[in-house]
Amino acid sequence: MEDDFMKYRSPLVSRYASKEMAYNFSDRKKFTTWRKLWIYLAKAEKALGLPITDAQVQEMESHERKLRHDVMAHVHTFAHCCPTAAPIIHLGATSCYVGDNTDYAMLNLCSFCPQLARVIDRLANFAEKYADLPTLGFTHYQPAQLTTVGKRACLWLQDLVMDMRNLQRARDDLRFRGVKGTTGTQASFLQLFQGDHDKVEELDRMVTDMAGFKKSYLVTGQTYSRKVDIDSLSCLASMGATIHKICTDIRLLANMKEIEEPFEKEQIGSSAMPYKRNPMRAERCCSLARHLVALLADPLQTASVQWLERTLDDSANRRISLPESFLTADIILTTLQNITEGLVVYPKVIERHIRHELPFMATENLIMAMVKAGGNRQDCHEKIRVLSQQAAAVVKQEGGDNDLLVRVQADPYFAPILGQLDSLLDPKTFIGRAPQQVARFLSEEVRPLLEPYKSKMDVKIELEL
């Protein structure tokens, strides 16, 4: 226990990550995968006629999970456990056979799809519920034309849907490195099979199939192209950018007291200010999402400096950037699911904010109504301009409420439309096609995307803050 206090432990694992993702990058997962790959290779070589016995393969299989604590060290350890099979372990292979192919087992983009599907599902339900609840829109973070709470959630959903498609594409594009040898030429295997090219190709195909992949890359150097890492991590970084935007929006709306993330009964918002309800989950997501986005620089630079068939300056970097990207993506997706399962909306606060701004937004409607009632547009525009500036001065200089409507009602010029004011100022007449857009988007783009993950929707997330 004392040793634990003397060593740095990444909070990604010790504090935040799920057990499943932490295990995915554990030594046990890595080393058991190495042994599986050696067994796949031996089985395929045996099937293609190399002098490997059933007893040797069975011995390897029986010791697959009996681990002790670089690749050659494990070859020797495995050989020590399997003395009969020792001569044929790692036969014809290079360290990248187990190293790179194991990386593929860990770069498991499939695991993120059900997680992301649950977030999309929760937000889709939220968008549907609030599809026609008017709220202030904002451009330049200044009040703009009204939208709805549900339509705004669909902006978040649109980005998440794009992230899902990116993940699915990268997952489907992923190929196995396969059995390629020291510089990718398969020369050692061609020698083992005495110049039989067909058997070398079949060996590659068989091992790829045993590892659960449909295809392997036809050409590699000593390693698979490090652009594969870029492809995988760019999907995660892009998703990080999406989550940062969503959680920033939630933090801004929480400041306005319009929307809040879930808040536990015993949760403390601030040690100094007990009345506060800080958006801690959204802040955590933003903090870690920045890290996830920044990690993309590593595979970009690593791929750019791989000389010729391979250099080893990728290794130490990848030991950090690959696990941290996956661990971080897992954490922010889990946290965002928890947020979306408990988002709280305050319609009365939203309504008050609309009332404060709507009179200014309604001026064009007032002008059009006056013109229909026989008024002159230029005269009406000038009247509205003067009254609007007077009301704005009350708001900005005196800190008062927006009294434009009171001024309009008091001006005899607007007598012809006073009876229409309530309908002219109904917030639902300012939201355009937002509810219809929500309904179509959910039915045509969101719900069909979730169909493959229906059986995995019931998982709920509880967080330790």
Using one digit for the tens of pLDDT, what is the confidence trace for 109-131? 888 999 999 999 999 999 999 99
Q: Tell me the pLDDT of the chain averaged across its residues.
A: 89
Burial 19-31 (b: 16+ CB within 10 A, else e): eebbebbeeeebb
pLDDT (0 to 100) of residue 275: 53
Mean pLDDT, residues 136-161: 96
Q: Distance between CA 411 and CA 250 in Å, rounded?
A: 41
Catalytic-residue membership of 140: yes
Distance set, CA 165 to CA 112, 115, 120, 133, 190 (Å): 12, 14, 12, 29, 40
Q: What is the pLDDT of residue 363?
A: 84
Which residues, listed in sequence order, are joined to residue 260 by a DSSP beta bridge? 344
As a whole number, mean pLDDT of residues 24-30 equals 87
Q: Please give the helix or strand (H or E) that residue 147 lies within, else none.
A: strand 142-148
d(CA 172, CA 236): 15
CA dihedral (155, 159, 165, 169) in degrees, to 10, reads 160
Whether residue 43 contacts residue 34, with contact meaning beta carbons closer than 8 Å, is answered with no
Question: What's the pLDDT tens digit per position in 407-454?
Answer: 999 999 999 999 998 888 899 999 999 999 999 999 999 999 999 999
pLDDT at 90 over 90: no
Annotated catalytic residue, options 270, 287, 315, 423: 270
pLDDT above 70: residue 132: yes
More confident residue, 25 or 135: 135
> Alpha-carbon torsion 283, 284, 289, 295, what sign?
positive
Single pTM value for the model: 0.87
Could you report the per-residue pLDDT of 166-175, keeping only the tens digit for each? 999 999 998 9
Percent of the residues in the chain that have a pLDDT greater than 70, as a whole number = 91
Q: Quick check: 371 and 380 in contact, CB under 8 A?
A: yes
Among the residue ranges 83-92, 98-107, 305-314, the one predicted with the least confidence is 83-92
Residue 6, SS3 per DSSP: coil
Closest CA to 58 of 70, 68, 46, 48: 46
**For residue 274, what pLDDT is reported?**
52
Site of tokens 């918002």: 269
Residue type, 328: T
Could you tell me the maximum CA-CA distance found in the chain, to the nearest angstrom? Answer: 105
Q: Is the CA virtual torsion 340, 344, 345, 349 positive or negative?
A: negative
pLDDT recorded at residue 341: 95
Q: Which residue has the higher pLDDT, 127 or 461?
A: 127
Tokens of 233: 């991590």
Catalytic residue of the set 69, 140, 271, 455: 140
Tens-place pLDDT, residues 374-402: 999 999 999 999 999 999 999 889 998 88
Beta strands in 36-141 (DSSP E): 134-139
- pLDDT band per the 50, 70, 90 thresholds, residue 69: very low
pLDDT at 369: 92
pLDDT in tens, 329-343: 999 999 999 999 999
Give me the pLDDT at residue 276, please.
63
Q: Report the first-to-last Cα separation within the chain, whole angstroms.
A: 24
CA distance 66 to 32: 9
Q: Worst-scoring range by mean pLDDT, 73-87, 271-285, 304-318, 430-444?
A: 73-87
Give residue 65's pLDDT band: very low, low, confident or very high (50, 70, 90): low
Residue 246 phi/psi, 5-degree rounding, is -60, -50
Q: Does residue 13 or residue 240 have the better pLDDT?
A: 240
